[in-house]
């Protein structure tokens, strides 16, 4: 008889439920959220599992890849579809969610999500990290502007290169403001330097991608300086 499994993924321990072709629960367990632990669990069942389902999520990608590499047929389930299918549950627990996922896998009532390759996940992580640094950089600049505005000191329109000089010019002769501005400008310089590193890494990838190069020919987007300037200024 065929068997199916559902995994409700959590950070430390994931709930696993295995059912047979008639929907009867054969095995339930809490397993460490590690690919090796899950592979060991399924290999130790004593019978093959036809398909394993996990709800799509950040950690699920990693676990899914480990299961597939070990030879198991594993699918990532579309989150909204799973939520709608399990919405009839009056009380939700990890154990019940795993049971529900196993039944969805058995009956085929699911929408599979494309599993990104490791390379694609790395590029996405790079873009997210770069965006986060840019956001923090702009937050610091806006905070400096806000602090000085309270003392009637207006920064006005300045370029990135002119920003630090303009701030130091405004706070000259005011010891407390000089101390505050110095600390925040130091933080800004660090954020900017690290952002530039990730931005260069993104540009290196773009230069090797034919689609990205074609998109950069659009007026106002193509070219390193224009692309960089738009990316930085768009959040201001």
CATH code for the domain of 97: 3.30.420.40
* CA-to-CA dists, residue 63 to 101, 111, 194, 234, angstroms: 16, 18, 31, 37
Environment class of 1 (CB within 10 Å of its CB; exposed 0-12, middle 13-18, buried 19+): exposed
Q: Give, for 159, the enclosing helix (H) or strand (E).
A: none
Q: Give the pLDDT of residue 103.
A: 94
Whether 199 and 124 share a structural domain: yes
Whether 9 and 66 share a structural domain: yes
Whether 124 and 95 share a structural domain: no
Alpha helices in the chain (DSSP H): 35-43, 58-69, 79-85, 94-107, 118-149, 160-171, 175-207, 210-215, 224-233
Residue 162 has pLDDT above 80, yes or no: yes
pTM value is 0.73
Whether 45 and 126 share a structural domain: no
Mean pLDDT across 145-158 = 95
Query: pLDDT over 90 for what percent of the chain?
Result: 73
Cβ(196)–Cβ(133) under 8 Å? Answer: no
Question: What's the distance, CA 104 to chain centroid?
Answer: 26
Task: Give the pLDDT band (50/70/90) at residue 222.
Answer: low
Whether 105 and 127 share a structural domain: no
Residue 229 has pLDDT above 80, yes or no: no
* CA-to-CA dists, residue 177 to 41, 86, 140, 187, 189, angstroms: 61, 56, 15, 15, 18
Among 61-70, 209-218, 225-234, whose mean pLDDT is lowest?
Answer: 225-234
Q: State both tokens at 183.
A: 């600390």
Domain that holds residue 91: 3-113
Domain final residue pick, 90, 113, 136: 113
Q: How many CB atoms lie within 10 A of CB 207?
A: 11
Whether 69 and 142 share a structural domain: no
Q: Give the pLDDT of residue 57.
A: 87
Kind of pairing, strands 13-20 and 74-77?
unpaired
Whether 201 and 122 share a structural domain: yes
Q: Give the pLDDT of residue 127.
A: 96
Q: Which of 17-31, 100-114, 211-225 has the highest mean pLDDT?
A: 17-31
Whether 27 and 44 share a structural domain: yes
Q: What value does the mean pLDDT of the chain take? A: 90
Mean pLDDT across 159-183 = 96
Q: Give the pLDDT of residue 85.
A: 84
Whether 152 and 173 share a structural domain: yes
Whether 33 and 65 share a structural domain: yes
Domain count, the chain: 2
Whether 131 and 105 share a structural domain: no
Q: Give the pLDDT of residue 202.
A: 94
Q: Give the pLDDT of residue 154.
A: 95
Domain final residue pick, 55, 82, 113: 113
Domain final residue pick, 62, 95, 113: 113
Q: Which residues contact 72 (CB under 8 A, 6 or more apart)?
A: 39, 42, 49, 52
Q: Give, for 25, the enclosing helix (H) or strand (E).
A: strand 25-32
Whether 135 and 151 share a structural domain: yes
């Amino acid at each position: 008889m065929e068997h199916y499994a559902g995994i409700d993924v959590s950070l430390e321990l994931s709930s696993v439920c295995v059912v047979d072709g008639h929907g009867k629960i054969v095995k339930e367990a809490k397993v460490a959220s590690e690919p090796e632990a899950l592979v060991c669990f399924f290999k130790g069942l004593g019978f093959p599992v036809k398909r394993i389902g996990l709800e799509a999520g950040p950690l699920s990608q990693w676990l899914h890849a480990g299961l597939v590499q070990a030879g198991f047929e594993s699918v990532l389930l579309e989150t909204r579809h799973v939520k709608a299918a399990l919405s009839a549950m009056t009380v939700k627990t990890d154990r019940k969610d795993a049971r529900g996922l196993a039944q969805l896998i058995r009956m085929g009532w699911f929408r599979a999500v494309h599993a990104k390759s490791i390379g694609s996940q790395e590029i996405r992580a790079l873009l997210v990290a770069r965006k986060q640094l840019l956001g923090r950089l702009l937050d610091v600049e806006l905070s400096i502007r806000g602090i000085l505005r309270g003392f009637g000191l207006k920064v006005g329109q300045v370029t990135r290169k002119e920003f630090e000089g303009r701030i130091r010019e405004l706070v000259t002769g005011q010891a407390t403001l000089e101390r505050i501005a110095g600390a925040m400008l130091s933080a800004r310089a660090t954020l900017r330097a690290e952002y530039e590193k990730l931005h260069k890494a993104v540009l290196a990838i773009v230069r090797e991608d034919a689609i990205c190069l074609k998109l950069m020919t659009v007026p106002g987007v193509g070219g390193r300086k224009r692309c960089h300037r738009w990316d930085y200024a768009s959040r201001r």
